[in-house]
Structure 1
Amino acid sequence: MHILCIYTGNTGLTGSAGSGYTDQKKEGCGMERLLITGANGFLGSRAAEYFGGLRGWQVQAVGRREMDLTDPAAVERVFREFGPTRVLHTAAVSDVGACAADPAGSERINVEGSRRIAEACGKFGARLVFCSSDQVYLGRPGRENGGPYKEEEPCAPVQPYGQQKLAAESLCAAPAPGAVSLRLTWLYDARPYPCRRGDLAQTLRRMAQSSQSAEFASADRRGVTDVWELLANLPAAFDLPGGVWNWGSPNEAGLPICELARQGLAALGADPGLARPKDYPPRELRMDPAKTRAAGIRFADSAEALVRALQF
């Protein structure tokens, strides 16, 4: 994939890096220059689409080919050539199983790669928004039934993915003053598209179309968020005070994933019973939205947003 540069606002220009628009983009007409990492990923690709449609944002989205996070020279080159004022760092090895199978390999991306991005942000004066995960909360002993997590609570993740995200939050804060770490919920995209594993909305659409059943955890409580609602709130994240923020739709009723799936199936006109309960160990991954709400940012409740997205 080539580097995607989208010039919005009054320039009317679109082109890839090195296409001859260097002078115009550096002048910028007062626009924010946004660098998005993880351009080929679920969130990064959609962030490029979303911010590319906004006035006042000049976007460059890069994948691994364009900026290998394990290569300090590659990171330096992209920052120097583009000169971002804002950075949205979504790139990660986000498959929990892959992180567990090769924790050293995923750490090079999730921890050391994030540190390099933060250092480059500090060096070039770019405001960093780092995409963390609700998985940092998973594993604290005795916390399975303690209600939604607040940002200030101590975390003790047991899985490598959560451990790496938590470590990256701390590593980003020092070299990039004012860095914002967003602890994201499980994301979905309800639009029809070729679906990768793990998207709840697309899984429910396939079930509704085929009338095939599937198992869902009966004691797994977490928030699920429409990626487009998350993106609509992301511009405001760059203006938040630095630190950690719970980011996404709350699940204040404590509905397990199986019940959310059943409500989604009903919204699609399918039999809710297609979602069969599976008895896994209980998990509490809900996040308290109070801090984000106090900053004027609100997300719809998980069940409400999922039903609305699937009915659209």
Structure 2
Amino acid sequence: MDILVTGTAGFIGSAVAQRLLERGDRVLGIDNLNDYYDVSLKQARLQPLLAHPGYTHVQADLGDRAAVERVFAEFKPQRVVNLAAQAGVRYAAKNPHAYAASNLVGFLHILEGCRHHGVEHLVFASTSSVYGANTAVPFSEHAGTAHPLTFYAATKKANEMMAHSYAHLYGIPSTGLRFFTVYGPWGRPDMAPMLFARAIRNGETIKVFNHGRHSRSFTYIDDIVEGVVRTLDRPAQPNPAWNGADPDPATSSAPYRIYNIGHERPVQLLHFIELLEQAFERKAVMEMLPLQPGDVPDTEADTSELIAATGYAPRVSIEEGVDAFARWHREYYPDATTIPKHA
């Protein structure tokens, strides 16, 4: 197939594009290579894609309507995986306009491209952050998500609603994936695993919020990729049992679905740090701090819907995943003192 993947210099986008190329699909990737974090890491992720004959790259911003329209008109993708976004929960408080431009305006341009070019299936990234003030764990797609606690989460909830409106109005099969704390080789430097790894290797202090009592459904990158690809291969279908009098937010009479994608075994943050200590053979220096505004104490994924739809659930254990991540970290950053700090 001809597949458009956005955010191919990103952590998840690069891995998904590589997997699609390996199975024989043709991929056009879009990324603006912005400087939210170390651009050299993004360029390194892109290198194996650029060397593949089935890959074409366009450096453009999804907020550039004309550029996105050209991509759809010239490449004519059969399916689209939208993974480009301004990410990061805390950065949204500093620069909300970046989130509106990328996550809202940019996503509208993707929806319009799908509408006007007969795309067979749109798979797009959402986030477990949409559960917000909902404290009923494990998080179910059928639960309410009306109270996001950060602007980032609000933009991703908006993406879900935007996609549903286009699925309803124009019959575009659309599937949203709520990712739960993704980690692994080539990870984002602003996320805890990379921040902690850098600090432990350099003997620097780790800021541990909520005194380490957080628990997260840490999900290894390979499991995320498998879930994305399996979902992409199964276009969303209308649900004939959907009852408009008691609407289910995870499905619809339109060709629209929402799935959680995360490991069902949550891990306490302090245990995650312990595993990093073992992997790097160094003790962490920790500063215990209270819960940050907008943070959720615990996340736990109910993946029963993903399993029923695709036959797959994340399988990589936290021990296996942290070990693989630590090996990559040593290889990519042999001198820990030269690792760029995330602003």
Aligned to 1:182: 177
Contact 1:250 1:288 in 2 (8 A): yes
Alignment of 1:5-154 (within 5 A): 32-52=1-21, 54-64=22-32, 66-126=59-119, 127-140=121-134, 143=135, 146-154=136-144
Structure 1: gaps of 5 or more residues: 1-31
Displacement, 1:46? 3.0
Displacement, 1:97? 2.8
- Counterpart-to-counterpart distance in 2, 1:67 and 1:210: 36
The one-letter code of the counterpart of 2:63 is: T
- Counterpart-to-counterpart distance in 1, 2:86 and 2:320: 27
Aligned to 2:223: 229
The one-letter code of the counterpart of 1:63 is: D
The alpha-carbon distance between structure 1 residues 297 and 119, as it changes in their structure 2 partners (threshold 3 A), is same
Q: Percent identity?
A: 26
The alpha-carbon distance between structure 1 residues 301 and 139, as it changes in their structure 2 partners (threshold 3 A), is farther
The one-letter code of the counterpart of 2:297 is: R
Q: What's the CA shift string for 1:119-152, capped at 9, x where partnerless? A: 2112212211101111111233xx2xx3211001
Alignment of 1:187-206 (within 5 A): 187-190=182-185, 196-198=189-191, 200=193, 202-206=194-198
Structure 2: gaps of 5 or more residues: 33-57, 237-255, 328-343
Contact 2:86 2:98 in 1 (8 A): no
Aligned to 2:156: 165
Runs of 4+ in 1 over 6 A off after TM superposition: none
- Counterpart-to-counterpart distance in 2, 1:285 and 1:304: 19
**Deviating more after overlay: 302-311 vs 262-271:** 302-311
Aligned to 2:247: none
Higher relative contact order (CA 8 A, sep 6+): 2
TM-score (normalizing by structure 2): 0.70
Contact 1:67 1:74 in 2 (8 A): yes
The alpha-carbon distance between structure 1 residues 262 and 279, as it changes in their structure 2 partners (threshold 3 A), is farther
Aligned to 1:283: 297
The one-letter code of the counterpart of 1:260 is: F
The alpha-carbon distance between structure 1 residues 290 and 268, as it changes in their structure 2 partners (threshold 3 A), is farther
Question: Is 2:207 the partner of 1:215?
Answer: yes
Q: Secondary structure at the match of 2:90?
A: helix
The alpha-carbon distance between structure 1 residues 311 and 63, as it changes in their structure 2 partners (threshold 3 A), is closer
